[in-house]
């Protein structure tokens, strides 16, 4: 047989053993005939056993009752759910008898849809949307009326009248990706029920079977205006199991009759079902064991999906065949029951279009592979979750099976935490929307605190997504994707009475609910209300904000229209009319004021003049305690400096420049960072930190490093037990090291880079001691160590020359509990990392979450006690948010902080607690070389960085 040399031989060309060739043709034909006959018999026998068929001439021995039940099931199998109605209901199925109606007066309302008559294209462009002044009547768990001047006297005598005082009212926020209840906080081994890891393919498990109704985070989330969350299984499995939407009202205190998981269900009738699937890194990392079982690659994951869908497809076909025969011949003639397998039941329902599919997929190959699966097995996807790269391939999403392409359930700017999250964009929502797709913003709680999921939508507005689409991304869009678009997500008659009154525009920095209603029942008896003025333009819909993404280096430039300058530490230039001018020459500010001569010279020479609207001139931002410069991708060890509980090292020796993290740091005004080596996990520290400029090229570049050794770091949070076996031992070891240093003259050591040599600088007061700790108890123990060691230092001959240990606390979730003690001890400062903790660990369980649950947060208590405070970040992606976090402290501080104070949280206060003030001030030379020019307040949503002076070279970066 001939075949091309470049081809593999066909199966028929494979050589056969010689003994077969020696058989006679006649004998060979006889054997083949017998073999074919046997094969035909086997196929027939199998068909007789497997195929459902009527019984001819015999009576079925099966239960007629069960067969009839199966026949009734046929109709259910073939039915497709419809989105449940809203308007037309007399009462909400979740309504509790006896609850009084509520009339909310004088509200400024976001209905959630455009005015009647607006075209589809016009609505997508934002036309017809507005804030309206009206009243809202809540009764029987429903929104009954939305109109002006509802007369309370015309209603039942028991109506509760609540005055919104002109504040903004929206529907309840909907978080379409949460693990609240199954990943309870604080995180404990016994409470973790996010993933069923007995197998990779687990469509048969359900999140509802693991929801902890006593998870305090359910209440914390509600305090951010979230009324409905889709509780998903985790993403370790390619097919993780069923998900369930819940409402955040638990037990009698929240107006319910019982405390149960069943009572949490947002749709008690379960019109739709939901399932979680996941592509990418997680499954192959979790289950892949080379040589034993997979998947070990994305290739293997696709097979896992296809194999599972194949099993479900076979069962579906067997069911359809059974139903066809039973309906035509009668159940009495059936020899088998309806084929059903609980292991595959959910996946069969997926193929029947009865389950909304939500799939965790980041990358282009994952997205494209899953889109192929949808078309091969003919099922739609409601949303791709995380979906970092969907903005790059909108056309791929549009090829997915079904009438509507999947939405993208994303973060605003959380990325770089693993390889598949390395490619992403803060402009993803904007780009998706411009391509006719649907962005939805989610928390993945506890990855992000779902209390602030509306902040994700606010940031997306700042990144260029139209205002109406940003609000829709946490209200109407997730409601529609849940199949509940006629019940939740809008403020209209017939919708569930889930509404929120806000203290300010929900898409503004620090917005917090004044009150939350779920099914018409107010959720907070005595909520903390932040005093914020109602703006006169509260009914105006803000315009879509421009974005800045292109940059160039320039030496000379002039900025006009600057309203405020915060460059000088002792004075503030404030021009409400925006009449200040900033002239830059040779990369330095040479004039700040009217600068008439500089403007004239620039006009003559053709130097670029940038006209700003409400310009702000500030010092650059500085981050203390992150892994910037020591890590590029959090989960990838090759991109990380490394760690070791038994190792004391210098960060400067592992410093790496020109990473994506550092590029974005500069883009958002962060030109300096102080980073320490890791002790073990993320946000742990041990060794000496390095102060460096994020725009540097390498550590030898002049000015790239401004502090070789900024502080000595140790970790005393829960990670401390990995190296010291106990917190008490870790504290005692620290005490022992400090006392031992006092007893020995380590300053004279031959090697000045040893741990002992650096501790000598600590006890001499020339180098700060930075302790990473969250627990108030641990911080108190550290203060006792400081007190004892300070006393020992005083007793020595050098005691008079030092004021004792300069102590800095990093973390500080519970520091508010000992704010006065921290002030009395004279600590150098507290770096709150994060600014708004939410009890993720046991040592953070007493953290303050803010209004409406608590009166203030840690920053308020510490500042009021006179403790110097800085804002840090607990994950590097937050480099974009540093100014906004300072803005939260400013807006929600009740006047405690001025704008200058807020900006100092991310600049001057860092240098103050590290003792670097003189160095920082002295770097100005003959002009300011380090500065940031913003258009708009950097403390507010929508501010744009227009220029960054990094202090390196004779040029600045100009953003256009």
Per-residue pLDDT, 15:
33
3-state helix, strand, coil in the chain (%, to 5): 35, 20, 45
Average pLDDT, the chain: 92
Q: Please, where are the H alpha helices in 79-148? A: 120-124
Q: Which stretch of 414-423, 544-553, 630-639, 759-768 has the lowest confidence by average pLDDT?
A: 544-553
Provide the pLDDT confidence category of residue 906 given band limits of 50, 70 and 90: very high
Give the tokens for residue 246: 């819940």
Per-residue pLDDT, 31:
45
Tally Cβ neighbours within 10 Å of residue 791.
Answer: 11
Tell me: pLDDT of 606 over 90: yes
Q: Which stretch of 10-14, 166-170, 175-179 has the lowest confidence by average pLDDT?
A: 10-14
Give the tokens for residue 849: 């979450």
**From edge to edge, which strands make up the β-sheet containing 621-624?**
621-624, 670-675, 690-693, 705-707
Per-residue pLDDT, 35:
53
Per-residue pLDDT, 572:
61
Q: Phi and psi of 70, rounded to 5°?
A: -65, -40
Tell me: pLDDT of 712 over 80: yes
315 within 8 A of 348, measured Cβ to Cβ: yes
Q: What is the mean pLDDT of residues 930-955?
A: 97
Count CA within 13 A, CB hemisphere, residue 542: 21
- Angular region, 844: left φ>0, alpha ψ -120 to 50, beta rest: alpha
| 889 alpha carbon, distance to own chain's centre | 20
Query: How long, in residues, is the chain?
Result: 960
N- to C-terminal Cα separation, the chain: 69
Tell me: pLDDT of 266 over 90: yes
Per-residue pLDDT, 803:
80
Provide the pLDDT confidence category of residue 20 given band limits of 50, 70 and 90: very low
Provide the pLDDT confidence category of residue 9 given band limits of 50, 70 and 90: very low
109 within 8 A of 167, measured Cβ to Cβ: no
How far is the C-alpha of 859 from the C-alpha of 889, rounded, in Å? Answer: 7
Q: Tell me if residue 42 falls in helix, strand or coil.
A: helix
How far is the C-alpha of 832 from the C-alpha of 847, rounded, in Å? Answer: 11
Give the tokens for residue 754: 């040893």
Per-residue pLDDT, 569:
66
Give the tokens for residue 791: 């006393």
Q: What is the mean pLDDT of residues 3-24?
A: 33
Provide the pLDDT confidence category of residue 548 given band limits of 50, 70 and 90: confident
How far is the C-alpha of 761 from the C-alpha of 739, rounded, in Å? Answer: 13
Q: Tell me if residue 102 falls in helix, strand or coil.
A: strand
Per-residue pLDDT, 535:
78
The CA distances from residue 786 to 162, 730, 782, in Å, are: 52, 14, 6
Q: What are 388-427's pLDDT values in tens digits? A: 999 999 999 999 999 999 999 999 999 999 999 999 999 9
Q: What are the residues whose beta carbons fall under 8 Å from the beta carbon of 695, sequence distance 6 or more?
A: 662, 666, 671, 948, 950, 952, 957
Per-residue pLDDT, 57:
45
Above pLDDT 70, what percent of the chain? 91
Q: What are 746-781's pLDDT values in tens digits? A: 555 679 999 999 999 999 999 999 999 999 999 999
Q: What are 484-522's pLDDT values in tens digits? A: 999 999 999 999 999 999 999 999 999 999 999 999 999
Q: What are the residues whose beta carbons fall under 8 Å from the beta carbon of 140, sequence distance 6 or more?
A: 90, 91, 92, 95, 101, 520
Residue with tokens 């401390």: 720
Does a cis peptide bond (omega within 30 degrees of 0) precede residue 339? no
Tell me: pLDDT of 800 over 60: no
Per-residue pLDDT, 13:
32
Q: What are 910-942's pLDDT values in tens digits? A: 999 999 974 433 344 467 999 999 999 999 999
Q: What are 288-324's pLDDT values in tens digits? A: 999 999 999 999 999 999 999 999 999 999 999 999 9
Q: Of 34 and 890, which is predicted with more confidence?
A: 890
Q: Which stretch of 170-184, 450-464, 924-938 has the lowest confidence by average pLDDT?
A: 924-938
Give the tokens for residue 161: 């009248």
Per-residue pLDDT, 297:
97
Q: What are the residues whose beta carbons fall under 8 Å from the beta carbon of 729, sequence distance 6 or more?
A: none
How far is the C-alpha of 283 from the C-alpha of 166, rounded, in Å? Answer: 50
Burial class (CB in 10 A: 0-12, 13-18, 19+), 960: exposed
Q: Tell me if residue 468 falls in helix, strand or coil.
A: helix
Tell me: pLDDT of 346 over 60: yes
Q: What are 849-880's pLDDT values in tens digits? A: 999 999 999 999 999 999 999 999 999 999 99
């Amino acid at each position: 047989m001939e075949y091309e040399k470049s081809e593999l031989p066909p199966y028929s060309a494979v050589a056969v053993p010689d003994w077969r060739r020696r058989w006679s043709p006649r004998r060979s034909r006889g054997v083949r005939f017998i073999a074919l006959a046997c094969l035909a018999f086997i196929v027939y026998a199998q068909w007789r056993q497997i195929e459902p068929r009527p019984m001819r001439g015999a009576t079925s021995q099966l239960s007629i009752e069960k067969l009839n039940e199966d026949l009734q099931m046929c109709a259910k199998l073939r039915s497709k759910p419809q989105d449940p109605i809203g308007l037309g209901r007399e009462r909400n199925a979740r309504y509790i008898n006896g609850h009084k109606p509520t009339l909310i007066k004088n509200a400024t309302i976001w209905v959630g849809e455009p005015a009647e008559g607006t075209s589809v294209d016009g609505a997508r462009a934002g036309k017809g949307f507005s804030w309206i002044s009206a009243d809202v009547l809540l009764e029987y768990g429903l929104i009954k009326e939305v109109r002006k001047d509802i007369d309370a006297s015309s209603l039942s005598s028991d109506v509760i009248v609540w005055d919104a005082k002109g504040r903004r009212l929206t529907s309840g926020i909907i978080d379409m990706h949460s693990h609240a209840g199954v990943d309870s906080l604080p995180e404990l081994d016994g409470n973790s029920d996010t993933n069923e890891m007995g197998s990779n393919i687990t469509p048969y498990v359900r999140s509802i079977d693991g929801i902890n109704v006593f998870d305090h985070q359910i209440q914390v989330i509600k305090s951010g205006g979230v009324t409905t969350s889709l509780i998903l299984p985790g993403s370790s499995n390619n097919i993780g199991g069923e998900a369930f939407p819940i409402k955040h009202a638990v037990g009698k205190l929240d107006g319910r009759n019982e405390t149960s998981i069943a009572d949490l269900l947002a749709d008690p009738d379960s019109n739709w079902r939901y399932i979680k699937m996941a592509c990418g890194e997680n499954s192959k990392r979790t289950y892949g064991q080379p040589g034993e079982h997979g998947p070990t690659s994305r290739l293997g994951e696709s097979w896992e999906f296809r194999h599972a869908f194949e099993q479900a497809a076979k069962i579906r076909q067997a069911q359809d065949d059974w139903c066809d025969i039973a309906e035509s011949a009668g159940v009495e003639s059936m020899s088998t029951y309806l084929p059903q397998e609980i292991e595959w039941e959910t996946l069969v329902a997926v193929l029947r279009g009865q389950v909304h599919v939500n799939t965790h997929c980041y990358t282009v190959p994952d997205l494209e592979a899953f889109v192929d699966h949808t078309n091969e097995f003919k099922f739609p996807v409601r949303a791709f979750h995380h979906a970092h790269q969907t903005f790059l391939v909108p056309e791929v999403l549009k090829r997915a099976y079904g009438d509507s392409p999947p939405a993208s359930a994303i973060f605003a700017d959380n990325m770089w935490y693993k390889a598949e999250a390395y490619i992403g964009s803060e402009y993803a929502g904007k780009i998706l929307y411009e391509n006719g797709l649907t962005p939805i913003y989610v928390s993945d709680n506890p990855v992000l605190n779902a209390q602030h999921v509306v902040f994700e939508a606010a940031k997306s507005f700042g990144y260029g997504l139209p205002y109406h689409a940003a609000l829709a991304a946490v209200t109407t869009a997730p409601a529609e994707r849940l199949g509940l678009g006629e019940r939740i997500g809008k403020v209209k008659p017939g919708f569930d009475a889930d509404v929120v009154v806000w203290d300010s525009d929900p898409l503004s920095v620090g917005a917090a609910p004044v009150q939350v209603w779920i099914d018409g029942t107010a959720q907070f008896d005595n909520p903390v209300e932040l005093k914020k003025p109602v703006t006169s333009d509260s009914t105006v819909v803000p315009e879509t904000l421009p974005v800045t993404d292109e940059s160039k280096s320039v030496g000379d430039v002039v900025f006009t229209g600057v309203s405020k300058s915060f460059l000088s530490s002792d004075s503030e230039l404030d021009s409400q009319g925006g009449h200040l001018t900033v002239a830059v020459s040779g990369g330095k500010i040479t004039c700040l004021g009217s600068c008439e001569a500089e403007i004239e010279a620039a006009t003559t020479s053709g130097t670029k003049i940038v006209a700003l609207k409400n310009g702000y001139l500030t010092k650059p931002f500085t981050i203390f305690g992150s892994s910037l410069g020591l890590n590029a991708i959090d989960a990838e060890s090759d991109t990380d400096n490394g760690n070791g509980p038994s190792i004391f090292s210098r960060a400067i020796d592992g410093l790496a420049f020109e990473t994506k993290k550092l590029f974005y740091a500069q883009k958002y005004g962060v030109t300096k960072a102080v980073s320490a080596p890791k002790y073990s996990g993320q946000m742990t520290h041990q060794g000496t930190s390095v102060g460096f400029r994020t725009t540097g090229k390498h550590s030898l570049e002049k000015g790239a490093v401004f502090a070789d050794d900024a502080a000595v770091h140790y970790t005393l949070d829960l990670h401390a037990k990995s190296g010291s076996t106990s917190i008490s031992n870790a504290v005692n070891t620290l005490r022992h090291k400090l006392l031992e240093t006092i007893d020995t003259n380590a300053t004279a050591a031959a090697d000045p880079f040893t741990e002992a040599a650096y501790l000598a600088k600590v006890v001499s007061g020339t180098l700060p001691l930075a302790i990473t700790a969250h627990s108030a108890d641990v911080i108190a123990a550290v203060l006792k160590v400081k007190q004892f060691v300070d006393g020992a230092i005083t007793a020595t001959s050098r005691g008079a020359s030092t004021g004792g240990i300069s102590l800095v606390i990093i973390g500080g979730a519970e520091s508010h509990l000992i704010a006065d003690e921290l002030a009395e001890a004279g600590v150098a400062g507290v770096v709150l990392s994060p600014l708004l903790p939410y009890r993720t660990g046991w040592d953070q369980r007493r953290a303050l979450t803010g209004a409406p649950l608590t009166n203030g947060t840690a920053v308020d208590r510490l500042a009021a006690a006179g403790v110097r405070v800085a804002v840090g970040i607990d994950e590097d992606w937050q480099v974009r948010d540093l100014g906004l976090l300072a803005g939260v402290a400013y807006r929600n501080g009740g006047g405690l902080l001025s704008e200058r104070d807020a900006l100092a949280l991310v600049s001057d206060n860092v240098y103050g607690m590290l003792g670097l003030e003189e160095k920082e001030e002295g770097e100005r030379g003959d002009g300011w070389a380090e500065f940031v020019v913003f258009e708009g307040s950097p403390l507010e949503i929508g501010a744009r960085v227009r220029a960054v002076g990094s202090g390196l070279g004779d040029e600045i970066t100009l953003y256009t």
